[in-house]
Every structure is written in structure tokens, then in C-alpha cells.
């Protein structure tokens, strides 16, 4: 497992989250002069986006994120995005948060699979950051935060070898390998099968620095070419015109990682049969995980820099629904397998006055919650746990 994968995973999933939230907030926004107190306006949308981006690119948070560390469990990473999504006045219930996370993960998984070469994962990340900068172009302070992460990303990854990027790509694919959520955009575009697996193209541009397949060269022991043999291919390959820019500003060429929700269309997620089977088998392995505390180590580093903004005074938090109707959201909440609801992590991290809690203190206070007896009737919701941090 590559110790340099976490920043790329976090930034790309965060970028996808912002794309989805922006699209849904725009769809539900009402003109300011016509909106009731409990309805979204464009001002609210910008506020939510600014709050989340400010939290996401917090300087101390980014410093911890870029430290060498392994990836941990999907549950632990999901907890970070629960906390991040609620870093503003916006509130998502469990079903909408599930759907949001499904869309985020499947979109980035598809992008990783389609990257022509491992190094292009960095171009995908830069595309996400370019779009995030556009979200906050009217907020210079937040824009500076994103630019600082941009520079740190280029400094950290531009010097890596092709082999190191291949190691990062393998780590990402291992992380995503059991996730087969069907997404309507992918199904309609016929890039995803009904079982949730992606259809990879056999045509298109070849990786930068390589040649179009169709020619075999043979060399003698002195390195001289002695023979050429041509063969036909089923795909229609082309040579890319230029390499994408890895600079702070420039043409990335690669379109993976850009906002696919810019064209308004409904997006639905459905669990494939294989994912349902994984959920049904989860009950067979309910013994406490002895590595649970180790898996939460990175949460200790990350959550110290995250704050959930609670509505102040008489202000109420706005609810965002990622489904078409409230009925669909309620149905999704009822039909979601219990094993896929993230209710077993209880993290206690206090903050000392005037400064953030130190990593050692947070580590000492990490606890994995024991399952409550069935007779208690108090199934704690993850959102309540995270709001209590």
C-alpha cells in the first residue's frame, strides 16, 4: 500500500462531493426575494460551498493529510466526509449522505480506471482543484487556501516516478475493488453494466509518450532493429496532441475529474447484487475488529482540524435532499441494509481553549463504541456522534 495515496483520495472524493452538492443546491434554490425562511437561496448555496471548502482546505488539516500514512477502512474515511458535509448550515439525513458517498466513490473509481497512465491521476486531481477554485473565485481568502494546497500537491507528487504512481493507482483500485454501486448517469451512457461494473473502452487516445498499437519491432543482440511486423487491432487508437499541464495554471488536456453534473440530469444510485450479498454476509463477521483503533489513527490526525458549524441563535440548519422527493429519501432509508449504516464509531476529541487538541491527546481519547444491547432501544445515529465532537 502506498503511503502517498490518502491526499489524492481525499481531494478527489472531496471534489466530487462539491460537484454533487453544488448541483443539488442549485436545483433546490429559490430566488431570494421569493424564498421562505426554510428554503434555499443562491446566497445559502454559496455560503455552504464556502464553509465546506474552508474546512476542507484548513491549513493544519492539510498538513496532517499530506503526512506519509496508510489508507484505512472505508468506514473511517466515510466518517470524515460525514463531518465535512456538515461543516456548514446544511444538514443531510442518513439516506442522502449514503447516496452522496456512493456517487462520490463511484465517480472517482471510474476516473481511476480510465486514466491512460498512472501519473494522470494527478491531472484528475488538478481538474478537481481547478473546479473548486472556480467555486470560490469571489472569496480571495478561501482561494488562497486552495492555491496553497495546489502548490503542496505539485511539490509532493510532480517528482514521483512512474512506478510510484503505479503503486498509488494499485492502492486506489484495491480500496474501490468491492464497490459496485449502479449510477444512472453511467448506466444511461452505457459505461456501467447492470451489475455495477464499469465498461472500459478499447479505443481512444493512448497514454502520452506511447505509440499507437499495431507494430512489433524485433532487435538483435546489438540493439539494431532487424524486423518489423504489423498487426490489426480492434480499437481505434489515436496519439494525444500534447501532455496535460501539471502547473498551477494550464490546460490539463485530460477531461477526467471535471464536473459531469454541469448538465442537469437526475442521478440515482442502486446497490448491485454483489454489494447486497456483501451486506448480507456482514452479519456473519460481527466480532470486534482488533485493528479498529489502528484504522482510526488517521481520523485522530484529520478530525482535529474539522469543526461542525452549528446554526447560531434562531438560525436553523437547512436540510438538503439528494433524492427527487422526500418519499424516495424515506424509502431509501428504510431499505438500506443495516450493515451499511455507519453507527459503530464513537470518537471523543476535545479542543483546548485557544488552540486545537494535540494529536497525542486525540489519540488517547479515541474509543470504539461497544454495540448497545438490543433491549436499550437507543440506536445512536452517526450524525449525532459526529456533531458531539
Residues 110-152: tens digit of each pLDDT: 999 999 999 999 999 999 999 999 999 999 999 999 999 999 9
Global pTM reads 0.72
Relative to beta strand 318-319, strand 204-205 is unpaired
| Amino acid 108: pLDDT | 96
| Amino acid 255: pLDDT | 92
Q: What are phi and psi of 85, to 5 degrees?
A: -65, -25
Q: What percent of the chain clears pLDDT 90, i.e. is strictly above it? A: 36
Which of the pair, 204 or 355, is modelled with greater confidence?
Answer: 204
Of 35-49, 153-167, 221-235, the one with minimum mean pLDDT is 35-49
Q: What are phi and psi of 206, to 5 degrees?
A: -85, 165
DSSP 8-state secondary structure symbol assigned to residue 192: B
CA dist 64 and 250 (Å) reads 28
CA dist 295 and 304 (Å) reads 16
Q: How much is the mean pLDDT over the chain?
A: 75
| Amino acid 355: pLDDT | 31
CA dist 29 and 86 (Å) reads 18
Instruction: List Cβ neighbours of 370 (8 Å cut-off, separation of 6 or more).
Output: none
Is residue 242 very low, low, confident or very high in pLDDT (cuts 50, 70, 90)?
confident
For residue 364, is pLDDT > 60?
Answer: no
Of 40-49, 186-195, 261-270, the one with minimum mean pLDDT is 261-270
Beta strand residue intervals within 12-114, DSSP E: 90-91
| Amino acid 216: pLDDT | 94
| Amino acid 270: pLDDT | 62
| Contact criterion met (CB below 8 Å) for 72 and 298 | yes
CA dist 115 and 32 (Å) reads 42
What interhelical angle do 162-176 and 94-114 show, nearest 10?
A: 140
Query: What would the mean pLDDT of 44-66 be, rounded to a whole number?
Result: 91
| Amino acid 350: pLDDT | 37
Residue pointed to by grid coordinates 490539463: 252
Strand partners, 255: none
Cα dihedral sign, 319-324-327-332:
negative
CA dist 40 and 31 (Å) reads 8
Cell digits of residue 153: 500537491
Cα dihedral sign, 212-214-216-217:
negative
For residue 321, is pLDDT > 90?
Answer: no
Distances (CA, A) of 344 to 18, 70, 73, 371: 26, 22, 13, 7
Amino acid at each position: 500500500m502506498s503511503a502517498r495515496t490518502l491526499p489524492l483520495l481525499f481531494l478527489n472524493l472531496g471534489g466530487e462531493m462539491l460537484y454533487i452538492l453544488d448541483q443539488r443546491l442549485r436545483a433546490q434554490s429559490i430566488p431570494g426575494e421569493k424564498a421562505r425562511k426554510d428554503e434555499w437561496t443562491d446566497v445559502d448555496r454559496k455560503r455552504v460551498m464556502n464553509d465546506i471548502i474552508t474546512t476542507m482546505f484548513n491549513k493544519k488539516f492539510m498538513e496532517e493529510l499530506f503526512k506519509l500514512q496508510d489508507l484505512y477502512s472505508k468506514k473511517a474515511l466515510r466518517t470524515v466526509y460525514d463531518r465535512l458535509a456538515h461543516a456548514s448550515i446544511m444538514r443531510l439525513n442518513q439516506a442522502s449522505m449514503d447516496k452522496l458517498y456512493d456517487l462520490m466513490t463511484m465517480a472517482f473509481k471510474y476516473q481511476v480506471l480510465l486514466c491512460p497512465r498512472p501519473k494522470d491521476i494527478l491531472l484528475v486531481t488538478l481538474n478537481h482543484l481547478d473546479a473548486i477554485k472556480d467555486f470560490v473565485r469571489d472569496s480571495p481568502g478561501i482561494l488562497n487556501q486552495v492555491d496553497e494546497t495546489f502548490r503542496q500537491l505539485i511539490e509532493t507528487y510532480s517528482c514521483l516516478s512512474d512506478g510510484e504512481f503505479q503503486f498509488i493507482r494499485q492502492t486506489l483500485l484495491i480500496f474501490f475493488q468491492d464497490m459496485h454501486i449502479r449510477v444512472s448517469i453511467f448506466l444511461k451512457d452505457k459505461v456501467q453494466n447492470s451489475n455495477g461494473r464499469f465498461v472500459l473502452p478499447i479505443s481512444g487516445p493512448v497514454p502520452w509518450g506511447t505509440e499507437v498499437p499495431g507494430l512489433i519491432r524485433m532487435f538483435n543482440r546489438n540493439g539494431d532493429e532487424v524486423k518489423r511486423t504489423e498487426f490489426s487491432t480492434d480499437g481505434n487508437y489515436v496519439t494525444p496532441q500534447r501532455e496535460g499541464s501539471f502547473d498551477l495554471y494550464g490546460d490539463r488536456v485530460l477531461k477526467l475529474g471535471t464536473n459531469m453534473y454541469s448538465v442537469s440530469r437526475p442521478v440515482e444510485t442502486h446497490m448491485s447484487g454483489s454489494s447486497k450479498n456483501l451486506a448480507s454476509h456482514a452479519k456473519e463477521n460481527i466480532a470486534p475488529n482488533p485493528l479498529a483503533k489502528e484504522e482510526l489513527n488517521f481520523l485522530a490526525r484529520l478530525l482535529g482540524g474539522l469543526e461542525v458549524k452549528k446554526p447560531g441563535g434562531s438560525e436553523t440548519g437547512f436540510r438538503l435532499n439528494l433524492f427527487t422527493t422526500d418519499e424516495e429519501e424515506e424509502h431509501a432509508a428504510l431499505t438500506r441494509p443495516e450493515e451499511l449504516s455507519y453507527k459503530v464509531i464513537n470518537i471523543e476529541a476535545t479542543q483546548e481553549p485557544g488552540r486545537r487538541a494535540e494529536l497525542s491527546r486525540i489519540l488517547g481519547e479515541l474509543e470504539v463504541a461497544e454495540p448497545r444491547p438490543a433491549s436499550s432501544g437507543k440506536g445512536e445515529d452517526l450524525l449525532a456522534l459526529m456533531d458531539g465532537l
